[in-house]
Amino acid sequence: MVIIEGGVTAAKGFKASGIHCGIRKNKEKKDLALICSDTVANAAAVYTKNLVKGAPLTVTKKNIANGKAQAVICNSGNANTCNANGIEIAERMCDITAKALGINAEDVIVASTGVIGQPLDIAPIEAGMGSLVSALGDDSCSAAEAIMTTDTRKKEIAVRFTVDGVECTLGGIAKGSGMIHPDMATMLVFLTTDCAISSAMLEKALKTDVDGTFNMTSVDGDTSTNDMVAIMANGMAGNTEICCEGEALDAFMKALNTVTVWLCRNIAGDGEGATKLLECRVKGGKDLATAKVVAKSVICSSLVKAAMFGADANWGRVLCAIGYSGAEVDVSKVDVSFVSEAGEILVCKDGAGVDFSEEKAKEILLKDEIVIDVTLGDGDAVSTAWGCDLTYDYVKINGDYRT
């Protein structure tokens, strides 16, 4: 398996585009994205667990209930959430897209991201659809840009892998910078593959993967109303369709996980106001559930995040987060180390502090990517969670988000 360029257009039979249609005031920022397959594809999606859900999620869930889709339409700048006519607008977006592409409206995945509670005007979307369709091509980058809100950089990746001797490709784009928290992290992810895989196996692979990737990613503890991870598989690679568990599904899931982990790291590292990517690696858990709870608790701690911003090796905050996580842990066995490209330093052994160089620790914590390495000493289970530091700029960004 190799990482390649191309994002959501790397796989055979997929095209994408992104334009500024007028939803956002800034004409320099794209605000409407389209991804489409040459043929109807098998599809699956997972959604936010927030009880308040954006209208596009309701419409998408209905549209792909049959496990099929052919296109994704997504706008930024407005979440189309908590609006009286939200469902009508989301369905209209599907209708306009379907008419322009010559496909069925029920085969359209629809998504929106941006400010909650503001009516979404369909007029700019309708007026811009012709330009959006005309721009369709292999430019995954424009689609990645069009779904961004407070993101500071686009997020796209693709991998090439082999299933039963046949070369397949899987790619993805994502947006996410704030309102990112485990149990669907405002985050949108669109994945495409030319691998032939049944809708049932696609759904199984996606749900299994999300539990250990996007649901282990947190920026600020807020779970969005519009989170969605959707995947389309059009089968154009020509492999024998994956219809059951086995080596072929394992190969697909490895490729999927490579893409999703990369996107998770980039979402966390691009957290609103963030200066550092934080990765908490937990090993020695008595079971997977324990390891996951501990990793999430550490990565979500505002005090840990603030300490990492200040390059302060305040390991007591890590122990504190483990202690209130709710996991059954023998604290007297816990070890903590901080790791970066500048080196590694043990700061806690068997639940107690050890002598260490504060100067070396600061050197390690001043780097852009920090690993908080936790050993529980209770078993063999491992888990990883991703987050970022908490900075002054996070408050500035969210203090005037609507204005």
CATH, residue 36: 3.60.70.12
Residue after which a domain boundary falls, among 240, 269, 298: 269
Mean pLDDT over each residue of the chain, to the nearest integer: 94
For residue 247, give the amino acid letter: E
Same domain, 197 and 293: no
Q: What is the mean pLDDT of residues 125-137?
A: 98
Same domain, 249 and 376: no
Same domain, 262 and 322: no
- Per-residue pLDDT band for 179 (boundaries 50, 70, 90) equals low
Same domain, 294 and 147: no
- What are the backbone dihedrals phi and psi of residue 4, each rounded to the nearest 5 degrees, phi first? -130, 170
Q: Which of 308, 309, 310, 295 has the alpha carbon at shortest distance from 338? A: 308
CA 241 centroid distance within chain: 26
Quick one: which H or E segment has residue 112?
Answer: strand 108-113
Number of helices and strands in the chain (H, E): 11, 15
d(CA 230, CA 72): 9
Is-contact 57 226, C-beta < 8 A?
yes
Q: pLDDT at position 402, please?
A: 62
The pTM of this model reads 0.91
Q: Number of folded domains in the chain? A: 2
- Per-residue pLDDT band for 247 (boundaries 50, 70, 90) equals very high
Quick one: which H or E segment has residue 371?
Answer: strand 369-375
Same domain, 234 and 297: no
Helix, strand, coil share (%) of the chain residues, nearest 5: 35, 30, 35
Token representation of residue 78: 């407005």
Residue after which a domain boundary falls, among 226, 250, 269: 269
Beta bridge partners of residue 174, listed in sequence order: 155, 189
Same domain, 160 and 263: yes
Residue after which a domain boundary falls, among 249, 269, 289: 269
Same domain, 332 and 257: no
Options 48, 97, 186, 384, the catalytic residue: 186
Give residue-wise pLDDT tens across range 299-330.
999 999 999 999 999 999 999 999 999 999 99
Q: What is the mean pLDDT of residues 361-373?
A: 98
Active site (annotated) includes residue 186? yes
Same domain, 201 and 341: no
Structural domain containing residue 348: 277-399
Q: pLDDT at position 223, please?
A: 67
Pairing of β 228-233 and β 108-113? unpaired
d(CA 72, CA 133): 12
Same domain, 130 and 12: yes
Beta-carbon count within 10 A of 27 CB: 9
d(CA 72, CA 189): 11
